Amino acid sequence: MLKQVFFTKYTKQTVQLPFVLSAVGLNHRQEYINRPSGLPFFQWIHSVKGKGVLEINGKQYVVDEGNGMLFFPGEGHRYYGVSNEWCVHFLLFSGYGTKDFFEKIGIEQSGIYKLNNDKVEKYIKDLFLIHTQENPMEMYDYSRILYDFLLEFLKSTTIENEKSMQNQSNKVHLVMDYINQYYMEPVVLSELAEKVNLSKEYLCQLFRKVNGFSITDVRLVKARTLLIRDRKEKIKNISKLCGYEDVSYFGMVFKKKVGMTPAKFRELH
């Protein structure tokens, strides 16, 4: 396999683009890498021959042929081959629209993802073709193809990090059951995260993705239910039932989150 690598040239026009290509590698023989602070770019490393191991966030994952590693900027990681030869393609990229793109499609962490192999191969070869043509406007073509590549995450990605999305959902449901049982008590994120063996940050992201609201919103969800179900119950009592001793603070938080006071919410529903 022919090994090829090139780096792009930064210009004033380049940094104004939403998706900016920095480097491309084709058929790179992957060496041992240890980056405690990561890189200032997004990275995609696609395994095409052999297999490797990724160590990130205190966990270890096998990277099989056909899978790839996505790294967010500044996130520490280590990876290395465990076969006679580990061959990869890679992309380094940035741009003001990249993080926002991943957030909008629900990808908020580094990890192992699976994309369409043929499509990845095609986009990387297209980038090399543009590079050989030495077009002064090539940065726009790079950006266009990079965006097409990123769309593959939306069309065909499957996350492998937690065995399955069902496993992740089950963890969220366990947390939800616990909160519903003890909703009158303060929510301690570190305790909840420990119960399901996730970090606090990732649990919060996953919880919002599955339920559509945050962990700290659960008591307000309960409050809305009680306001409608128990119409004769005083609002100050509902406040206490939902873990808010200060009814004024409860009203302030409720209005900020819901857009109206508890009394107005009850009146409209």
Report the CATH number that the domain containing residue 86 is assigned in CATH: 2.60.120.280
Residues 91 and 173 grouped into a single domain: no
Residues 169 and 261 grouped into a single domain: yes
Predicted confidence at residue 159, as pLDDT, reads: 46
Residues 87 and 179 grouped into a single domain: no
The model's confidence at residue 161, banded by pLDDT at 50, 70 and 90, is very low
Split into its structural domains, the chain has a count of: 2
Phi then psi dihedrals of residue 248, to 5 deg: -65, -40
Phi then psi dihedrals of residue 123, to 5 deg: -65, -40
In one-letter notation, the amino acid at residue 239 is S
Residues 207 and 146 grouped into a single domain: no
Quickly tell me which residue has 């930064």 as its tokens: 10
Residues 262 and 180 grouped into a single domain: yes
- CA separation for the pair 145, 127 (Å, rounded): 7
Cβ neighbors of 14 (< 8 A, separation 6 or more) are 8, 20, 139
Q: Domain ends where: 105, 127, 159?
A: 159
Q: What is the average per-residue pLDDT within 100-129?
A: 88
Residues 62 and 171 grouped into a single domain: no
Indicate the angle between helix axes 247-258 and 218-229, nearest 10 degrees: 100
Residues 63 and 181 grouped into a single domain: no
Please answer whether residues 72 and 103 qualify as being in contact, where contact means their C-beta atoms are separated by less than 8 angstroms: no
Residues 213 and 233 grouped into a single domain: yes
Q: Domain ends where: 105, 126, 159?
A: 159
Predicted confidence at residue 163, as pLDDT, reads: 45
Please determine, for residue 160, whether its predicted confidence score (pLDDT) is greater than 90. no
Cβ neighbors of 33 (< 8 A, separation 6 or more) are 77, 78, 79, 80
Q: What average pLDDT does the chain have?
A: 85
Q: Give the residue, 17 or 208, on which the prediction is more confident.
A: 17
- CA separation for the pair 71, 77 (Å, rounded): 8
Residues 11 and 96 grouped into a single domain: yes
Number of H helices and E strands in the chain, helices first, is 11, 11
Predicted confidence at residue 245, as pLDDT, reads: 81
Q: What is the average per-residue pLDDT within 218-232?
A: 85
- CA separation for the pair 45, 53 (Å, rounded): 12
Q: Domain containing 194: what range?
A: 165-268
Q: Domain ends where: 159, 190, 212?
A: 159
Please determine, for residue 164, whether its predicted confidence score (pLDDT) is greater than 60. no
Please determine, for residue 178, whether its predicted confidence score (pLDDT) is greater than 50. yes
Residues 92 and 194 grouped into a single domain: no
Residues 147 and 175 grouped into a single domain: no
Q: Give the residue, 30 or 157, on which the prediction is more confident.
A: 30
Please determine, for residue 202, whether its predicted confidence score (pLDDT) is greater than 50. yes
Residue 240 is part of a domain; what is its CATH number?
1.10.10.60
**pTM for the whole structure:** 0.58
Q: Give the residue, 206 or 70, on which the prediction is more confident.
A: 70
Residues 65 and 106 grouped into a single domain: yes
Predicted confidence at residue 168, as pLDDT, reads: 67
- Whose CA is closest to 38, among 96, 88, 94, 102? 94
Quickly tell me which residue has 């590693």 as its tokens: 69
